Chains A and B, each alone.
Chain A
Amino acid sequence: MIFGLEFPPIENLVEWPNLFGPTDSWYGFNKIALINLVALVGTSVLFLVAGRQKTLEPATNAPKGSRNLVESAVAFIRDGIITETIGPEGLRYLPFLASLFFFILITNIFEVIPFFHMPGNARMAGPAVLALLTWVYFIAVGIKHQGLKYFWNSVAPPGVPKALLPLVVPIELLSTFIVRPFSLAVRLFANMLAGHILLVTFTVLCITLWGASLLLAVLPFSFLMLVGLTGFEIMVAFLQAYIFTILASVYIGSSMHAEH
């Protein structure tokens, strides 16, 4: 009970019972797993439908409908993220980065989808897995391009005076191999969890005000705030997908060349 509001405990907002599988089992399938599955199936269906969609005119080959949407998104990732942060040689990482973008965007957008109202990334598991995979991926890219010297080049960038190495090496070690995955995961998780709690707060407020006759006059303001925040969360869902993807792209790009 907070200021007369019956606010549910935090675990009631983010923890979901298993749809199948025993409680606390490693394969228990709950609402978050369902959202992740929908992200997989939804993205696949969207791309498959777009792939089968005929172009507008055979002569111009111009896209339309779902193909237009998917091509715009792919072009955004290719030209707006990869080319800008890595360059043309980074286009080979398009599948990984496009998967990140669509997976995060769709799992985030479930925050405002009726009957779900839960962003998949408001649980730490999803962001942690994606951050760990990104971490492994950019280290693998570094080893592929620079060999084992990648680790030394990462913590001691070329051109740094030797006298500064005792200071630079621990900082770079911490920032490159520990802070990067941690910040990736926490940024996404914290933003989505905060948005989710915000929407729940205003929803609970609306419900409570509906039952309180004296405070009914405040209800429209609370409801408008809820509607505004819903729109805001749609933007946040996209923004967080973009930020995660562009940071992953920056990390991959920095692993490709020692001077980074």
Chain B
Amino acid sequence: MLASILVLANQAVNEADNLLGQAAGDAKTVKNPILPTVNEMFWAAIFFIALWALMKFVLLPRITKVMDGRTDKVRDDLAAAEAAETERVAKLEQYEAGLAGARAEAVAILEASRAEGDAERRTQIAAAEADVAAARAEAASEIADAKARARSELTGSITDIAVGAAEAVIQKPLDRAAQGRIVEDYVNAAGQN
């Protein structure tokens, strides 16, 4: 009994020793997972510095060269576009100035033509009026001549008829000249009425 108790006690002591030893070993190996480890820091530093060097001397220049080239091209294209726009504005102003000059010249020509036309019209109207007055005077003269001629012919005929009728009534000849003056006076008086 005692022997078995001693054996059990010995086993318990051994197990306790083992547990204590294991706990001590664990305490030695357990690390704080938050703290950085040297090997990870070493490799992180190596790889980052390598990337930094590559980025500075190899990787970025290839990319930024094209980007800068594109930026320069865009800048040049913008400058060219601005120059073209300036040129366009200048040409537009020049065209508008020419257009305004042409318009002023056209207006001047139009005004001159209008004045010339007016003068010509007035001249032609005056000439036509003069022609009309001349024609009217000629017509009046012709009318007066015709009227005088008709009156003379009428006076002669009336004198002949009246003197012939009077000579037939009184059975003796009359003074044709004197009778003729009487008839002429009568016709003239009748023509005035």
Enumerate A181-234 residues with CB–CB distance to B below 8 Å.
none
Assuming the contacts A124-B35, A133-B48, asked whether A70 and B66 have C-beta atoms less than 8 A apart, the reply is no
B26: min CB distance to chain A, Å: 11
- Is B143's CB within 8 Å of the partner chain A? no
- Is B70's CB within 8 Å of the partner chain A? yes
Q: Which residues of B contact A13 (CB under 8 A)?
A: 33
Assuming the contacts A61-B73, A71-B67, A96-B52, asked whether A15 and B31 have C-beta atoms less than 8 A apart, the reply is yes
Which residue from chain B places its CB closest to the CB of A74 in the assembled complex?
Answer: B63
- Is A33's CB within 8 Å of the partner chain B? yes
Q: Which residues of B contact A177 (CB under 8 A)?
A: none
Q: Which residues of A contact B64 (CB under 8 A)?
A: 74, 94
Q: Which residues of A contact B34 (CB under 8 A)?
A: 124
B94: min CB distance to chain A, Å: 32
Contact between A47 and B63 (Cβ–Cβ < 8 Å)? yes
Interface residues on A, range: 35 or more
Cβ 8 A contact of B41, one of A29, A94, A96, A129: A129
- Is A246's CB within 8 Å of the partner chain B? no
Q: Which residues of A contact B62 (CB under 8 A)?
A: 47-48, 50-51
Cβ 8 A contact of A36, one of B30, B44, B56, B66: B44
A22: min CB distance to chain B, Å: 10
User: Taking beta carbons and an 8 Å cutoff, which residues of A are in contact with B?
Assistant: 10-11, 13-15, 18, 21, 25-30, 32-33, 36-37, 39-40, 43-44, 47-48, 50-51, 55, 61, 63, 67, 70-71, 74-75, 94-96, 98-99, 102-103, 120, 123-126, 128-130, 133
Which residue from chain A places its CB closest to the CB of B62 in the assembled complex?
Answer: A51
Contact between A26 and B42 (Cβ–Cβ < 8 Å)? yes
- Is B168's CB within 8 Å of the partner chain A? no
Contact between A129 and B48 (Cβ–Cβ < 8 Å)? yes
Most buried by A among B39, B58, B67, B69: B39
Q: How far is the CA of A10 from the CA of B41 in the complex (A)?
A: 20
Contact between B33 and A29 (Cβ–Cβ < 8 Å)? no
Q: Which residues of A contact B45 (CB under 8 A)?
A: 129, 133
Q: Which residues of A contact B69 (CB under 8 A)?
A: 61
Cβ 8 A contact of A14, one of B33, B50, B51, B59: B33
Assuming the contacts A75-B67, A129-B48, A133-B45, asked whether A48 and B38 have C-beta atoms less than 8 A apart, the reply is no
Cβ 8 A contact of A130, one of B38, B48, B58, B63: B48
Contact between B39 and A61 (Cβ–Cβ < 8 Å)? no
- Is B60's CB within 8 Å of the partner chain A? yes
B40: min CB distance to chain A, Å: 3
Q: Which residues of A contact B37 (CB under 8 A)?
A: 123, 125
Most buried by B among A37, A129, A133: A129
Interface readout for B64-100 with A: 1 if CB under 8 Å, 0 if not? 1011011001000000000000000000000000000
Known: A47-B55, A102-B55; 19 extra A-B contacts, CB below 8 A, are A15-B31, A26-B38, A30-B39, A30-B40, A32-B44, A33-B44, A36-B47, A39-B47, A40-B47, A44-B58, A75-B67, A98-B55, A103-B47, A126-B40, A128-B41, A129-B41, A130-B44, A133-B45, A133-B48
A152: min CB distance to chain B, Å: 29
Q: How far is the CA of A71 from the CA of B42 in the complex (A)?
A: 31
